[in-house]
Amino acid sequence: MKGFISALQFLTIIKIRKVEPDLSGSLYWFSVVGLIIGFLLCFTYRMWNLLSLPKWNSGLAIIIVFLEIIITGALHLDGLSDWADSLGAYDREKKLEIMRDSNIGVLGGIAIVFSILFRLISTYRIISLNKVNCILIVPSISRAMMVEMCVTMPYARENGKGKGFVQGAENKHRLASIFIGVVFSFLFYQIRGLILFSLGYLITLFLKWRFRRTFSGITGDLIGATNEIVTILLLFLGAMI
């Protein structure tokens, strides 16, 4: 269970016990941890209804969105903002230098605002249409796409926080992650779940092409940005289908 605990402690703020990190082994469990996050969000929705609290969909959407940010420690939002800041540079080395900087620039701040705004609008729509299982599976799909990035892309830096995941990533991690993601998607959201998984994969293929062209690979920030971009787009699309 070292891989599961490593994945849980890396992807969330949940700390069970101290274990020696198993970064490559944790890739098997990314989709599972994503589903756990989805369950926590849906549990909040169910409890709201069970306690017969006032029907206030916008308020519930705010709670769900910020609960996910808290659960994940805003880890992926940070990656998104660093990537957005790098868009202001044209040179690869300059882009990597900007992403290494812990300060948030204007583009990074705008990216965070738009990410939260998209989540709120989409989550409100999903709740209003009673499509809560969309909220359940999207975190699992987006974490599977992080594994896709780790396995199929080279690391763009000599060193970095994400290098341990990429170095030990093998095709077996990718295949397991895709299989688990597809099963969860169909099990909890049937054909619409498979559609969302397919759309998430297409989005990731585009991001892989873009990151390879711009950075010649990925970094930890780009892996986190992938999760955020896939999440907000799938929530937005999930609110429509």
Residue 8 domain flag? no
Q: Is the pLDDT of residue 19 over 70?
A: no
pTM of the full predicted structure? 0.94
How many angstroms separate the CA atoms of 116 and 77, rounded? 9
Residue 22 domain flag? no
How many angstroms separate the CA atoms of 99 and 125, rounded? 33
Residue 10 domain flag? no
Residue 3 domain flag? no
Q: Is the pLDDT of residue 216 over 80?
A: yes
- The set of residues, in sequence order, having a beta carbon less than 8 Å from that of 141 and lying 6+ positions away, is 31, 34, 181, 185, 196, 197, 200, 230, 234
Least confident of 49-53, 107-111, 167-171, 186-190: 49-53
Percent of the chain at pLDDT above 90?
Answer: 65
How many angstroms separate the CA atoms of 239 and 119, rounded? 10
Residue 15 domain flag? no
Looking at residue 11, its pLDDT comes to: 92
How many angstroms separate the CA atoms of 103 and 85, rounded? 10
The residue among 23 and 7 whose pLDDT is bigger is 7
- State which residues form the domain around 160: 27-238
Name the phi and psi angles at 159, rounded to 5.
-140, 160
Q: How far is CA 195 from the centre of its chain?
A: 18
- The set of residues, in sequence order, having a beta carbon less than 8 Å from that of 134 and lying 6+ positions away, is 126, 189, 192, 196, 234, 235, 238, 239
How many angstroms separate the CA atoms of 210 and 85, rounded? 16
Mean pLDDT score of the chain, rounded to an integer? 91
Q: How many structural domains are present in the chain? A: 1
Residue 221 domain flag? yes
Residue 2 domain flag? no
Per-residue pLDDT reduced to its tens digit, 21-52:
777 889 999 999 999 999 999 999 988 888 77
Q: Give the mean pLDDT of 5-34.
A: 85
Q: Give the mean pLDDT of 52-69.
A: 89
Name the phi and psi angles at 227, rounded to 5.
-60, -45
How many angstroms separate the CA atoms of 102 and 78, rounded? 9
Residue 4 domain flag? no
How many angstroms separate the CA atoms of 56 and 54, rounded? 6
